[in-house]
Amino acid sequence: MCLPGIFIVTLLTLSIPAVHGGKVLVYPQDGSHWINMKVIIEALHSRGHSVSVVRPSDSWYIKETSPHYSSITIDIPGGADEEFFSSFVSRQIQIQREGKSAWTRFSLDMELKDRFSEMHRRVCEMVIQMLENKQLMQSIRETKYDLVLTDPANGGGVVLAHYLNVPLVFNVRWTIHGEAHFAIAPSPLSYVPFPVAELTDNMSFFQRVRNFLVYVIRQHLYKQTVGPHYSALVSRYFGPEVDYFSLFQAADLWLMRVDFVFEFPRPTMPNVIYMGGFQCKPAKALPQDLEEFVHSSGEHGVIIMSLGTLVAQLPRDLTDELAAAFAQLPQKVIWRHKGDRPTTLGNNTLLVDWMPQNDLLGHPKTRLFVAHGGTNGVQEAIYHGVPIVGLPLIFDQPDNLHKMKARGAAKILDIFTISRDIFLQALQEVLNEPSYRMNMQRLSRLHRDVPMEPLDTALFWIEFVMRHKGAAHLRTESYRMPWYSYHSVDVMVFLLAVVLLIMLTTVAIIRCLCFRMCSRQKIKHE
């Protein structure tokens, strides 16, 4: 439940500069999602639009001051999701590698679920703080925003847009109910794999059963985790008859952070615009020392390894196994690594705190990407055509990698049970078997062969919504229907009833006629 008035609102900053062009109010999702949103914000800014970003005062990623946007900062306690997720992943690896009980793993899952629930409770609090702050809301109204741009992984921007009656544009892959397509497009579970189920669009009967079950269970879980918070919020401001999820489904545009090189083909809708890989760009030259290291790899080339921003530190025994495998290769290795130096580290391996990942992936000497399977990294690997050895950890990472594996462009390993031999074998397989590289380069060619760059496409459509004050003509309102109407169950029942009625009436008439004829014959005989 989101109760009003119990949190202190401190409006740290509210400065909306008078820039020519459109005015965009951004309600982002913190964490790695912000990386994507920032790309769009910077592009909007470079096209002369003015952007305001709503952020919690203790945001992990979203800086308060930026040359590209002004901030609307809400002071709200209890954030620091980064620390939680980072330590969560470390504990997850530790527990799995130590082979602790199923109960321990289950309680870890429950902890994650509670954290998500808490995250959404906090979003609802933030929204209430905003809406109850009359001065802030007046200022927002007076700014006359052209649209709200939000990542519907949280519902803050959705509720805000509806409250302000302003067009709503999504930068999206997930809504609060899971994969975004499932929220608006027909998604036959017979050939549309529910993400996280690690399936393809070509399923056996029992895979279809699994897909069905995973979908049903997950949907229930999402509703249970996030539903109460948003129901209370929406009910408070728009009345109890408004379904919170229908506000998501009413978005004007869905700028989807995938394309059909990454995603399996499936039904879509006219207001879904694909901008997968919009964050990818040609590689720039490397810093001199890195270039020298890469160049020294000669004909063997380099391997780059990064497990993303969430892994603070891998367990020592694990890093020793990975380093030992790397040491046996003729390639050079650049490893984004935190924590102690592995004891088994070879001379060919360079540990770095941070790496220019895109520039390295685009370097002609890069042969292989050892990755956790975050969407951004996988998209960059596709863009540059570099095959993957995947070490998935959490969230959508196993599923993202599974998509690449299905295309023959990646090999997936279980990080929890990995040994130096298994790792080495996988590295050698992907390095030496040409099909991995050929398949990934084929995906790269398909991905890049578009009439318009994905980021330009996204900008075009955001500005389309500005020009036309929405995109109602691309949006169905079918989500307003009850399920039995949507699926024509009522129509079929009605038609069946009519057919039955006609049949019964016919039978009744025939029986009646027969009865009369029999009666007459009886009378005659009598």
Closer CB to a second copy, 226 or 459, in the complex = 459
Q: Give dist(CA 396, CA 412) in Å, integer.
A: 14
Which residue number, 186 or 298, has a Cβ lying nearer to a second copy?
186
> Does residue 299 come out as left (phi exceeding 0), alpha (psi in the -120 to 50 range) or beta?
alpha
Query: What's the Cα-to-Cα distance from 525 to each of 163, 436, 473, 513, 514, rounded to whole Å?
Result: 84, 93, 75, 18, 16
Taking the complex as a whole, how short is the minimal distance between the CB of residue 439 and a second copy, in angstroms?
12
Q: Which one, 126 or 199, has the nearer CB to a second copy?
A: 199
Distance from C-alpha of 492 to C-alpha of 333, rounded to nearest angstrom: 63
Cα end-to-end span (Å), the chain? 83
Question: CB of 202: closest distance to a second copy in angstroms?
Answer: 7
* Neighbour tally for 407: CB within 10 Å: 17
Would you say 209 or 517 has its CB closer to a second copy?
209
| Cα(74)–Cα(130) distance, integer angstroms | 8
* SS3 (DSSP) at 153: coil
- What phi and psi, each to the nearest 5 degrees, are found at residue 277? 80, 15
Is residue 303 within 8 Å of residue 332, measured between CB atoms?
A: yes
Cα Rg of the chain (Å, integer) = 28
Query: Least separation, in Å, of the C-beta of 272 and a second copy?
Result: 9
| Residue with Cβ nearer a second copy (492 or 508) | 492
- Asked whether 208 and 189 are in contact (CB, 8 A), the reply is yes
Half-sphere exposure of 441 (CA within 13 A, CB side): 10
Least distance (Å) from a second copy to the CB of residue 38? 23
Which C-beta is closer to a second copy: that of 107 or that of 190? 190
3-state SS, 58-126, equals CCCCCCCCCCCCEEEEECCCCCCHHHHHHHHHHHHHHHHHCCCCHHHHHHHHHHHHHHHHHHHHHHHHH
Mode of pairing for the β-strands spanning 366-371 and 388-390: parallel
Asked if 155 and 231 touch (Cβ cutoff 8 Å), the reply is no
Q: Pick the closer one to a second copy by CB: 75 or 456.
A: 456
| Spatial separation of the C-alpha atoms in residues 333 and 350, rounded to whole Å | 6
Residues within the interface to a second copy (CB under 8 A): 185-186, 188-191, 201-202, 205, 208-209, 212-213, 260-261, 264-271, 445-446, 449, 451-452, 456-457, 460, 464, 467-468, 473-478, 481, 485-488, 490-492, 494-495
Q: Which is nearer to a second copy, 472 or 518 (CB)?
A: 472
Task: Say which residues have a Cβ less than 8 Å from residue 72's Cβ, sequence separation at least 6.
Answer: 11, 13, 14, 52, 53, 54, 55, 130, 136, 140
Positive or negative CA dihedral for 135, 138, 142, 147? positive
Quick check: helix, strand or coil at residue 304?
strand
Output the smallest distance, CB 192 to a second copy, in A: 9
Query: 115 Cβ partners below 8 Å, 6+ apart?
Result: 81, 84, 85, 88
Looking at beta carbons only, is 270 or 330 nearer to a second copy? 270
Closer residue to a second copy in complex, CB, 87/190: 190
Residue with Cβ nearer a second copy (38 or 181): 181
Shortest distance in whole angstroms from residue 247 CB to a second copy: 18
For residue 402, the minimal CB distance to a second copy (Å) is 16
Least distance from a second copy to the Cβ atom of residue 447, Å: 10
Question: Between residues 36 and 211, which has the closer beta carbon with respect to a second copy?
Answer: 211
Question: Which residue's CB is nearer to a second copy, number 493 or number 513?
Answer: 493
Least spacing, CB of residue 164 vs a second copy, in Å: 24
Assigned token pair, 488: 């024509």
Q: Which residues contact 55 (CB under 8 A, 6 or more apart)?
A: 28, 30, 62, 64, 71, 72, 73, 74
Give the nearest distance from C-beta 67 to a second copy in angstroms: 28
In this structure, the number of other CB atoms found within 10 A of the CB of residue 498 comes to 10
> In whole angstroms, how close is the CB of 271 to a second copy at the nearest point?
7
Closest distance between a second copy and the C-beta of residue 246, in Å?
A: 15
Least distance to a second copy, CB of residue 478, Å:
4
